[in-house]
């Protein structure tokens, strides 16, 4: 049995409606979407009266958790392949799969003067460590390897790669100075139209396969009103505003 993912309770407390406890939705969330769901959760709870409990991890890790019986109602993936696979395996509510965001990849350094908005520092290779997420488990890690291939740098940086289990760990390697730069999700370093810290090169979309992030209601959430409410909320204008503010496309 795999170890459970780290849980983060996003609700402030129990919400009572008509004398009854509101429904709770347990959501497995791809690590790149941590900040957006934390921003969305209180607004969702306020609007619906339901409680949201989120767990975060790499998409591949979450898939394994689901297949091993983890009690999730909704899955917000970092790709579209994994939800499609779960659909083909009969693990989701039919017709519930939809794309809630399209992610962007960024090369980021915690040093505000390290990157000049281009790939020059990456090509120069004057760094000791380059952080990426595990490409076998994290779609953003796979996208990073595609960029390196396109630039012809795969062999040149092979010995310098520091691999995180998920995109959160890949970001931590850079933010703590254990790697001078790394490929992370734009949403981790971007808010309201600008990179919030350090320096960055926002990788052109054409350099990697589109990171279509799909959501599904899992079989456990089939009869959970909170699960259905969350999916509808994610399709609405208030959630869209938050998602776009973190650099995602819709």
Per-residue b or e along 27-44, where b marks 16 or more CB atoms closer than 10 Å to that residue's CB: bbbbbbbbbbbbbbbeeb
Closest CA relative to residue 25, chosen from 48, 57, 2? 48
Rounded Cα–Cα distance for residues 240 and 250 (Å): 8
25 Ramachandran zone, left/alpha/beta (phi>0; psi -120 to 50): beta
Binding residues: 59, 167
d(CA 219, CA 96): 10
CB under 8 Å to 42, separation ≥6 — which residues?
A: 10, 12
Enter the tokens of residue 234.
């994610």
Q: What is the C-alpha separation between 157 and 141, in angstroms, rounded? A: 14
Assigned token pair, 131 = 């952080």
Cα separation of 41 and 15, whole Å?
13
Annotated binding residues for molybdate, written as ranges, equal 59, 167
CA 17, CA 205: separation in Å to the nearest integer? 45
3-state secondary structure of 64: helix
């Amino acid at each position: 049995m795999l170890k459970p993912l780290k849980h983060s309770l996003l609700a402030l407390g129990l919400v009572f409606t008509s004398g009854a406890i509101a429904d709770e939705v347990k959501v497995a969330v791809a690590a790149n979407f941590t900040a957006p769901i934390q921003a969305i959760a209180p607004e969702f709870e306020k609007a619906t009266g339901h409680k949201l409990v989120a767990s975060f991890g790499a998409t591949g890790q979450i898939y394994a958790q689901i297949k091993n019986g983890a009690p999730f109602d909704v899955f917000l993936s970092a790709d579209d392949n994994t939800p499609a696979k779960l659909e083909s395996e009969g693990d989701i509510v039919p017709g519930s799969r939809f794309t809630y965001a399209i992610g962007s990849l960024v090369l980021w350094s915690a040093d505000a003067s390290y990157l000049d908005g281009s790939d020059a520092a990456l090509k120069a290779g004057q760094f000791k460590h380059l952080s990426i997420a595990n490409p076998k488990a994290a779609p953003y890690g796979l996208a990073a390897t595609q960029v390196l291939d396109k630039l012809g740098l795969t062999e040149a940086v092979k010995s310098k790669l520091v691999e995180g289990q998920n995109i959160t760990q890949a970001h931590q390697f850079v933010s703590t100075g254990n790697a001078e730069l790394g490929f992370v999700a734009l949403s981790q370093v971007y808010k309201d139209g600008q990179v919030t810290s350090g320096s960055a090169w926002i990788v052109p979309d054409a350099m990697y396969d589109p990171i279509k992030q799909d959501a599904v209601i899992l079989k456990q959430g089939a009869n959970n009103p909170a699960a259905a409410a969350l999916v509808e909320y994610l399709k609405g204008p208030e959630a869209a505003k938050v998602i776009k503010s973190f650099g995602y496309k819709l």
